[in-house]
Amino acid sequence: MQKIVPFLWFDDDAEEAVNFYMTVFKDGKITDTTRYGAAGPGPEGSVMTMNFELNGQQFIALNGGPEYTFNEAVSFFVNCDSQAEVDDLWTKLTDGGQEGPCGWLKDKFGLSWQIIPTEMLNYIGSSDPAKAARAMDAMQKMKKIDLQVLRDA
């Protein structure tokens, strides 16, 4: 097991969320599921935790109740190799969710993601200050990142 594993607190839809992420990411797999027993606090037999992997990254999802919810203070940054990958993940993750600025989105479970083409980092981190400023200005006007617009900037 990884030394540090993101632990995601869901109200009561951890299983639905994990199954959704299995359809979004090609290399996803569920590695373990534990269920509540008679002592609860969840309904006996319902999912308590699910261990899963997305592209080799381990996660744990918990059905913990409504006490805590996700917010943008924590997000998952996804390095994308192409515009096609950005488009695919953006479409799947915003279905039932909401778009945000600069490549950020919330999925239908409220979890925040940054869907970022790796190439973009070359533009906004350019050693040429004018090039970096043009790229940053273009990015700040976007929701889903469009690499061609960044290249043209």
Q: Give the Cα separation of 16 and 1 in Å (integer).
A: 23
So what's the pLDDT on residue 53? 98
Domains, in order of start, for the chain: 7-63 (3.30.720.100), 75-152 (3.10.180.10)
pLDDT in tens, 73-95: 999 999 999 999 999 999 999 99
CB atoms closer than 10 angstroms to residue 78: 22
Q: Write down the pTM of the prediction.
A: 0.93
So what's the pLDDT on residue 132? 95
Position 139, amino acid: M
pLDDT in tens, 48-75: 999 999 999 999 999 999 999 999 999 9
**Segment 123-129 mean pLDDT:** 94
So what's the pLDDT on residue 115? 98
**Segment 9-34 mean pLDDT:** 97
**Average pLDDT for the chain:** 96
Q: Which helix (H) or strand (E) is 150 found in, with range?
A: helix 147-152
So what's the pLDDT on residue 143? 98
Q: Give the Cα separation of 75 and 80 in Å (integer).
A: 15
pLDDT in tens, 94-105: 999 999 999 999
So what's the pLDDT on residue 128? 94
pLDDT at 40 over 90: no
